Structure 1
C-alpha cells in the first residue's frame, strides 16, 4: 500500500533541491521558512512548468510530524470565499437543530502545517490580506454571521505565481517573508535529467520514492535538528548592524525587511548547524528577503545588485561595538539612487529621467525604428505619479470579477442587502434568513421552542465592492502617426493607464494597425509588464487600415465577452481618423465603427490630427462609434486618463 508520504514527487528528487552545493534558492527558501515560520512564508515567482507546485506539495512529507501525525498540507483555491477561508456558522446544524455552531475554515485546518495558494496573484486582495495577517499573528479572528471567536492558525504560507498573469500589489508583495524567482534550466543536460526523473516517477511512483527514501529521511532529520537549534542561535550586535546597513543600502521601505532578514539569517545558521550568525548567513538571507522589497519603478522586475551587496557586506563581520553605533552612511547608488518611490505611493520625480533621453531625435526617422526606441525609461518615469491620483471607472454597477476599479456586485465588499441563493452560493445573511422564516411559523405549526427553518428561508448577502475591467487600446501606427512627438505623446498616455491598471489588476489588451492589416499586439492579459513592452517596441509606418483595426478590436472584444461575459470593457481608439488602406477604406471603417456602436462598447476616440489644416476625420469616426472625441491638444498622460474617466 502506498504511504501518504509518497503520494507526491519526493522533495529531494526535484532537480535543484539536491545540488552539490546545497538546495537551490527555491528549495532553500521553503526549508528556512519551515525551520522558522515567523519568517513569514515564501512567494515563488516563475514561468509555467518550473516545478513550483511539485516542490511545495512535496515539502509537507519531509517536515517532522506533529504529535505523531503528518504535517497537514492545505490548498486554498483561488475561487474560495471568505467564509470558506476563515470559517463560519455551520449551516446544517443551524437549519436542522437551531444551533449556531462554528465550522472551521481552511486557516484552522492549516494549523501547524502548510497553507498553499497556487496562482496567489489571482486571489482576491482582501483574502491575501487575511492570509498574511493570520500568518504573521499566528491566529485568526472570525467576526461574521453571529460568530465571534479567535483560534490558533500557525502555518507556513507558500504562494506560487506566474508573473505573466499579473503582479501582486507592492503592499502585499512586501508581506511575504521571502521571494524567489525560478526559471526552467537552459542547460540541456539538466533539462534531460528533469524529464528522466519525471518519467521514472510516473512509471512507478512507489519505486521512485523508495530510491529517495534515505535522502528524504536525512532531510527530515536535518530540518528537525535545525528547528531545535534555531532558538539557541546568537545574532550579535555586529551582525544586526550589518543587516541594517544592507537594508539601508537597498533603500527598502520600513523595517520589515530588517526583521525578516535577521530571522532568515538565524534560520540559515541553524540549518548549517551553527550557533552564531555569520556573514554568509546574512548574504543568503538578503538574497531571499530583499529583492522584492527594494524601491523600484513599476514594471521593473524584482532583483538585487550583487555587487552592491558584496560591497556593503565586506569580507567579515566587524568586532562588536562597545556602544551604540549608527554605522557608516551608505552612499546612494543602484536602484535606491533614483529616489523613485515604491509603486504604492507613486512619489517618483520626473526629473529623475535619464539625461541622455534622445529628445533631439529627428522626426523623420525611419518607421521601422519603432519611434519609441530609447524613450521608454523617461515615459515610464513621467507617468509614475499619474496613476496615483487618477481612476478610470465604468459607469453603473457591474457584476464582474472582484477587483479594485468600478462599482459592482461582488462576493466581497460591504453588505447592502440579501437575496435567495443561486448556484454561485454566498455568505449567509442570518438576519434576513430569520426574517424570511418568521412569517411562516404559524403555518408550520410552531407553538414554542426553537425557530422552525426550511431551506426556502435561506438568504445570502448581496455585497457591493469593486470589479476589474478590460481596457483595450486600438492604436494607429501608420505613417501619418509616425512623427516622433505624436507617437511619444500616445505612448506616454497609454503607459499612464497601464500604470493605473498595474495597481488595480485590470486586464489590458493592445491592437495596432498599420500597412495593410491589424495585429493583436497583446491579447487581453493581467500582465501590464508585457503590454508596456509591446508598446515600447511598437513600430510605425505605412498606410492606415482603420477598418481592419476596428474589426480586429470588435472581434477580440466579442471573444472576451464570450469568455467572461460579466467583465465590462472600454475601447480607446488612438488615431487621426484617416483610412487609406484598400478600396472603399472610408466606407468600411464607418461600417466597422457602426458594428462596435451596435454592440454597446463604451469607447473614446483620441484625435491625433495636428496642424492648421485639419480634415476632422477622427471626429466623424467618433460619431459613428458613439464615442467621445478628444482633440490632439488634450493628448497627454494626464489628459488621456481624464478623458477615459469621462467616457466610462
Structure 2
C-alpha cells in the first residue's frame, strides 16, 4: 500500500484478515475490490468499531498497478487515457507500484479535491498549467472519506459524480481539463453526527451497518489482537502474512473471472423484481445489485449468478435506498426479500419448478418452524403481549400515575404525539455571519460565490492578485515572461455564501391539556425544522421545563433520527419552573458558543409567562438575552382564557424578543413570526 505525498506513514498496517467479525463489511469491501464498478461502500456505525482500520487495511490487498512513468494521472501503459493531460502516451513501458490509498480530509477544499491552476507556474513562468487533485491521485486505487456525512455538500456532489462517471471534469480559472478518475470509494460515518441526504446515499453502491460485538469472548479477542499489534506492528503483520497473501490472490483471481460470469435471465428477473417490490427510486439500485451479484459469483468461483448471490447483493445494495424520509432509518425486510426471491425463482417460464420435499412443512419432527420455540416472540418481546415484569396479571388496564401540576393534582398521560411535519418557509438570521457552511443565513464562506477580493493569501484570487501586481512591474525591473509578485500583491477571494444556525426551543411541558396541545404543536414544529435543518445543515435543540427543573430533551443536533426518537418520548406534566428553563437555555448557548463560536442562535420560548416553581424568571431572562449575542429570539405566549395577566409579554420585553400568541405557532405563522423577528433585529 502506498499513500499520496504528505500522507501519514505507517511502519505496518493492521492486517485485513486479523479484524475480528464484521463479515458484512469485509464482504462489501471485497465485492468492490473485485468490481470497482459496483460504486463503493458507505459504512455506517457507532464510534470505535474499527471502520477506519479495516478500510485502510483493504488497500494492501489490491493487486499492484502498472503505470506510465512520470504520469501524474496513473495511466495504464497498455490502455492509456487518450485525453490524459500528461499524454499522449505511446509505447511507454509500464512501471509497477502498489495501489494507493488516498484519504480525503473533511476540511478539504474544492481545489484540493479536483485540482486547479498551478499558481506557482502561472505567476513565475506565465503559463497555464494544471495541478492535479486527490481525484487524480486516487485513480486505480482507493479513495477514503472518513466522516463523509460531515463533508460539505458541494464536495460530496463532485466526489460522487466522478465516482459514477469514472472521470473528473475541471472547468475553473481558465483551466479546462478532463482526466480519468476510477477508484474504489469508501465512506464512513457515525449517524449520530448527522445524515447524508437520500440523493447522496443513493450514489454509494453498497452500505453496511456496523456495531461493536456484544459477545465478551469476541471483544476479548479484539483487545488481545490490538494490544499485540501495538506491541510489535511488524511482527504482528508478519504473523498474518499468509492469510493476507491468500486474500490478495483470491481478489486477483476473482477479477480475472469477472468478465466470464453470466448474469442469467432468471437472476436478472429476481434482481428487478426485488428492486420493484421494495419500491426503490430509479434504476441505479438494479444496476448496482446486478454488478454486486456478478462480483459475488466471481468471488465464490461460480460461472453464473445464483439466488444466493442476488440475496446477498440486495441485502447490501438496497437498505439505504429505501429511505423515503430523513426520519426513516435504513433497513430491509429480510422475510419480504426471501418471499420475492422465492416467487421469482431461478427457473424460466418454460421450466417447471421442482416439487417441494414430501412430509411435514412445519420445519422439523416437532413442528418447530420459523414461529416455533426458537422463532420470533410475540409483539412486545414476550408471551404476555408486551407487558413488562410489572404487567397486570388480572387483565386490568394499568393505572395512570399522578403528578403534581401547577394548579393541583393532574394525571400524567402518555407523551404527546407530534402534529404532522410540514415544510417550513425559509427564515434567516439578520446580518452576515461567519458560521459553519450551510444553506440558510447569509455568511462569508470559503465555498460561496466570489463577490470581491481583499488583501490576504487564503483562497487566492488570481485575477485580483495579477491586477494588483501589474502596475509595479517596471519599478520592480521585470524582464522576461515571469511576473514579479510580492506578498503585498496577494489578494484573497471574498465569497458570499450561506451558514447553518442553531434553533433552540425552550418549551413549557407542565401539566394540563393545554400543555399537551402546546407539545403537539411544538413537536410538529421542531420535527419540521429538524427536517429543514437536515437539508440546510442547521442544528436544532429542545429544552423542556416541568416539575422542579429543566431538561435538555434534544441536545443541539443535525441527526434527524436521534431528534425524532427524543421528541417521540417527550413527557408532560408537573409544575412550571420557568426560570430553570431559561437558565438551562443560557447554559446551552454558552456551551455551544465554546464549541462553535461562529454559529448564530435563534431561541424560541414557548410559555404563558407563569412561574409556579422557583425564583422570578426576570433575572434568568436577562442572562439569556445577554447570551444571545448576534442571534434572535421569539416568545410564544400560551396564555388563554378571558383574564390575561400579560406575564409572557413582560418576559418577552426582558428577553428582547418578539412576542406572539400561541395560535400563531401554526406552520405558516411560525415561520413568518421568526422571519419578522430577525428582520426587526437587523
**TM-score of the superposition, structure 2-length normalised?**
0.82
Aligned to 1:440: 472
How far 1:432 moved relative to its partner? 1.0
Q: Which moved more, 1:132-141 or 1:91-100?
A: 91-100
Q: Which moved more, 1:172-181 or 1:634-643?
A: 634-643
SS at match of 2:488: helix
What residue is the counterpart of 1:532 in the other structure?
A: 564
Three-state SS of the structure 1 residue aligned to 2:212 is: coil
Report how far residue 260 of structure 1 moved: 0.6
After superposition, the C-alpha distances for 1:463-515 in whole angstroms (9 at most, x for unaligned) are 22221111111122223676432321221222111121122221222222222
Q: Secondary structure at the match of 2:429?
A: coil
In 1, Cα distance between equivalents of 2:401 and 2:608 = 20
For residues 162 and 287 of structure 2, what CA distance do their matches in structure 1 show? Answer: 18
Give the SS at the match of 1:520: strand
| 1:413 counterpart SS class | strand
| Partner of residue 403 from structure 1, selected from 418, 438, 441 | 438
- SS of residue in 2 equivalent to 1:100: coil
Residue 302 of structure 1 deviates from its aligned partner by 0.2
Which deviates the most, 604-613 or 221-230?
604-613
The CA RMSD measured in Å over matched residues stands at 2.5
Distance 2:412 2:181 in 1: 53
Rounded Cα–Cα distance in structure 2 between residues aligned with 1:586 and 1:157: 54
Partners of 1:149 and 1:473 lie apart in 2 by 49
Instruction: Choose which of 20, 23, 32 in structure 2 pairs with 1:15.
Output: 20
CA distance in 1, matches of 2:343, 2:618: 73
Matched residue SS, 1:284 = helix
Candidates 134, 137, 141, aligned match of 2:165: 137
**Residue 632 of structure 2 corresponds to residue 602 of structure 1:** yes
Matches within 5 A, 1:369-380: 373=415, 375=417, 379=419
Q: After superposition, what is the alpha-carbon deviation per residue over 1:394-447, rounded to whole angstroms, capped at 9, x for unaligned?
A: 22222111112222211112221122225xx22x32211111111212211236
Deviation at 1:372, TM superposition (A): 5.8
Highest CA radius of gyration, 1 or 2? Answer: 2
**CA separation of 1:632/1:282 partners in 2, compared to 1, >3 Å: closer, same or farther?**
same
The Cα offsets for residues 203-238 of structure 1, whole Å up to 9 and x where unpaired, read as 111111111111100100111011111111111122
Matched with 2:502 is: 470
**Alignment partners' CA distance in 2, 1:12 and 1:552:** 49
Distance in 1 of aligned mates of 2:506 and 2:513: 13
Paired with 1:503 and 1:186, the residues of 2 have a C-alpha distance of 34
Q: Which moved more, 1:623-632 or 1:299-308?
A: 623-632
CA distance change for structure 1 residues 316 and 192 in 2, over 3 Å: closer, same or farther? Answer: farther
Offset at residue 600 of structure 1 (A): 4.3
- 2:380 aligned residue: none
| 2:276 alignment partner, one of 248, 253, 273 | 248
Deviation (angstroms), 1:629 = 1.4
Deviation at 1:579, TM superposition (A): 1.6
Separation (CA, whole Å) in 1 of partners of 2:480 and 2:189: 55
State the shift of 1:524 in Å: 2.1
- Is the Cα contact below 8 Å between 2:450 and 2:496 reproduced in 1? yes
Q: Match of 1:103?
A: 131
Q: CA 1:600–1:413 in 2, change beyond 3 Å: closer, same or farther?
A: closer
Matched positions, count: 590
Task: Mark the CA change 1:206 to 1:315 in structure 2 (over 3 Å): closer, same or farther.
Answer: farther
Kept after mapping to 1: 8 A contact 2:167/2:181 = yes
Gap change, CA 1:435 and 1:600, over 3 Å in 2: closer
Q: 1:58 to 1:301 in 2, by over 3 A?
A: same
Q: Counterparts of 2:431 and 2:467 in 1: how far apart (Å)?
A: 30
CA distance in 2 between counterparts of 1:456 and 1:145 reads 22
> Aligned in 2, Cα 1:322/1:100: closer, same or farther, shift over 3 Å?
farther
Gapped runs of 5+ residues in structure 1? 18-23, 324-363
Asked whether 1:30 is paired with 2:60, we answer: no
Do the aligned residues in 1 keep the contact of 2:25 with 2:210 (CA within 8 Å)? yes
In structure 1, the partner of 2:245 is 217
Map 1:166-185 to 2 at 5 A: 166-185=194-213
Distance 1:73-1:447 versus aligned 2 partners, 3 A rule: closer
Unpaired runs of 5+ residues, structure 2, are 4-8, 67-95, 352-399, 405-410
Equivalences for residues 281-360 of structure 1 within 5 A: 281-314=309-342, 317-321=345-349
Q: CA deviation at 1:46?
A: 0.2
Distance 1:487 1:551 in 2: 20
Question: 2:505 touches 2:541 (CA, 8 Å); kept in 1?
Answer: yes
- Rounded to whole Å, the distance in 1 between the matches of 2:612 and 2:471 is 70
For residue 566 of structure 1, give the secondary structure of its aligned residue in structure 2: coil
Distance 1:475 1:275, change over 3 A: same
Cross-structure match for 1:628: 658
CA deviations 1:535-571 (Å, max 9, x no partner) are 2222222222212211221122122223222111111
* 1:614, distance to aligned residue in structure 2 (A): 2.5
SS in 2 for 1:443: coil
Note closer, same or farther for the CA distance 1:261–1:634 as it changes in structure 2 (3 Å cut). same
Which residue number corresponds to residue 42 of structure 1? Answer: 41
4+ long deviations beyond 6 Å: 2-6
Task: Determine if the alignment matches structure 1 residue 257 to structure 2 residue 290.
Answer: no
Question: Cα distance, 1:638 vs. partner?
Answer: 4.0
Which range moved further: 629-638 or 465-474?
A: 629-638
CA distance in 2, matches of 1:397, 1:304: 44
Q: SS of 1:418's equivalent?
A: strand
The 1:616/1:262 distance shift into structure 2, 3 A limit, reads same
1:150 is displaced (CA, Å) by: 0.7
Contact 1:371 1:487 in 2 (8 A): no
SS of the aligned residue for 1:412 comes to strand
Q: Call closer, same or farther: CA 1:576–1:372 in 2, change over 3 Å.
A: farther
Match of 1:414 among 445, 449, 452: 449
Q: Determine if contact 1:33/1:41 at 8 Å carries over to the other structure.
A: yes
Task: Look up the SS of the partner of 1:472 in the other structure.
Answer: strand
- Kept in 2: contact 1:95–1:455 (CA 8 A): no
Secondary structure at the aligned position of 1:109 is classed as: helix
Q: Distance in 2 between matches of 1:498 and 1:406?
A: 16
- State the alpha-carbon separation in 2 of the partners of residues 397 and 89 from structure 1: 30
Q: Distance in 2 between matches of 1:370 and 1:436?
A: 71
Q: By how many angstroms is 1:455 displaced?
A: 3.1
Question: Residue 189 of structure 1 aligns with which residue?
Answer: 217
8 A contact 1:510–1:531 mirrored in 2: no
* Other-structure match for 2:599: 567
Residue range with higher mean Cα deviation, 226-235 or 512-521: 512-521
Greater percentage in helix: 1
Where 1:565 maps in the other structure, the secondary structure is coil
The match for 2:255 among 218, 227, 232 is: 227
Alpha-carbon distance, 1:288 to partner = 0.5
**Which one of 113, 117, 127 corresponds to residue 89 of structure 1?**
117
Q: Helix, strand or coil: the match of 1:419?
A: strand
1:352 matched residue in structure 2: none
Partner of residue 294 from structure 2, selected from 262, 266, 269: 266
Q: 2:81 maps to what in 1?
A: none
Question: In structure 2, do the counterparts of structure 1 residues 528 and 631 end up closer, same or farther at CA, with 3 Å as the change threshold?
Answer: same
Is the 1:473–1:572 Cα contact (8 Å) retained in structure 2?
yes
The SS at the match of 1:579 is coil
| 3-state SS, counterpart of residue 292 of structure 1 | helix
Out of 224, 230, 233, the position equivalent to 1:202 is 230
